[in-house]
Amino acid sequence: MRAGVTVGAETQFRLFGAFGVESGDGELGPRDFGSRKPKQVFQVLLLAGGRPVTKDRLIDALWPGNLPRNPAATLETYVCILRHRLCGAGRDKNCCIETLPGAYRATVLSHSIDVVRFMDLLRRAERADASEALILLDEATEIADRDLLEDEPYTEWVLEPREDYKAMAIVALLDAARLSLSRGEPRAALAKARRSIQRDKACEPGYRLAAQSFIDLGQQAEAKWFLGKAEKDLLKASGIDAAMSLRRFTQGLLGTA
């Protein structure tokens, strides 16, 4: 286990992909928090983006249906472990994690948390003109290019937010691909459409945008080959209705019977 890091203004907290804390004096990975449970406490607090999380909610997340003898005391121990790992000795007792009545709150800068930056970029993109929106969406999709908390693949409380963030990242990729096409940048649009398909093999809009990108690149043969393969992939991933929908799109795009 590595030594702790000193959390400061430049520290970054990574929830997309494998969990990590990056600071000027080092980095902590998923195995550097003493044990799995303290790490999970910090993950729940960071995912809340600076909002208080009740102790009851933390206890439910840590021990679904299998409580220790004194869960509140055990939770307090985990918080102490986290403060030591993240702040060291002699720091403010509320360093990184603030104790509130019946709750805890991560006190790190909210924009040091990647999921918070991702959501902020999406909100800004909604209000921006097309050119600025494309820049913001590109930045957002780079942040969220992997699934949430990959070091916790089966943990129950992670599953729903993981799917939610994945869905938002895919929509952002599709929106960015459409904007790239509208700006006459089919090669960039193709790359983004393909990334959406890599995230979800059942992403029919991704297949359509990729095919349109091939057409705009003057590569009709590639578009035809791609759509033929895409139809088979969609049949496996989503069933006959999605595959037939893509076939109708193919016929309209390529003028085939």
What local confidence, expressed as pLDDT, does residue 44 receive?
98
The upper half-sphere exposure of residue 111, i.e. CA atoms within 13 Å in the direction of its Cβ, equals 5
| C-alpha to C-alpha distance for 233 and 36, rounded to whole angstroms | 37
pLDDT tens, residue by residue, 78-115: 999 998 888 765 556 667 899 999 999 999 888 899 99
Phi then psi for 29, rounded to 5 degrees?
A: -105, -175
When pLDDT is averaged across residues 6-22 and rounded to a whole number, the result is 87
CATH of domain 12-111: 1.10.10.10
Does pLDDT of 73 surpass 60?
Answer: yes
What pLDDT is stored for residue 257 in this prediction?
40
User: Quick one: pLDDT at residue 41?
Assistant: 97
Which CATH superfamily groups domain 114-254? Answer: Tetratricopeptide repeat domain (1.25.40.10)
What pLDDT does residue 161 have? 98
Residues in the chain, total: 257
Nearest to 104 by CA among 39, 46, 61, 64: 46
Amino acid letter, residue 210:
A
Q: What is the DSSP string of 23-51?
A: ETTEEE-TT-SSSHHHHHHHHHHHHTTT-
Looking at residues 120-129, what average pLDDT do you find? 98
Q: pLDDT exceeding 70 applies to what percent of the chain? A: 93
For residue 25, the model assigns a pLDDT of 73
Give 197-230 pLDDT, tens digit per residue: 999 999 999 999 999 999 999 999 999 999 999 9
Pairing relationship of beta strands 12-14 and 97-100 according to DSSP bridges: unpaired
What is residue 1's predicted lDDT score, i.e. its pLDDT? 44
Domain residue extents for the chain: 12-111, 114-254
pLDDT tens across 37-63, in order?
A: 999 999 999 999 999 999 999 999 999
* 183 conformational bin, left if phi > 0, alpha if psi -120 to 50, beta if neither: alpha
User: Would you state the pLDDT for residue 6?
Assistant: 63
| Average pLDDT of span 1-11 | 63
Average of per-residue pLDDT values in the chain: 92
Instruction: Tell me the two tokens of residue 156.
Output: 């129950």
Q: What angle do CA 13, 159, 146 make, to 5 degrees?
A: 50
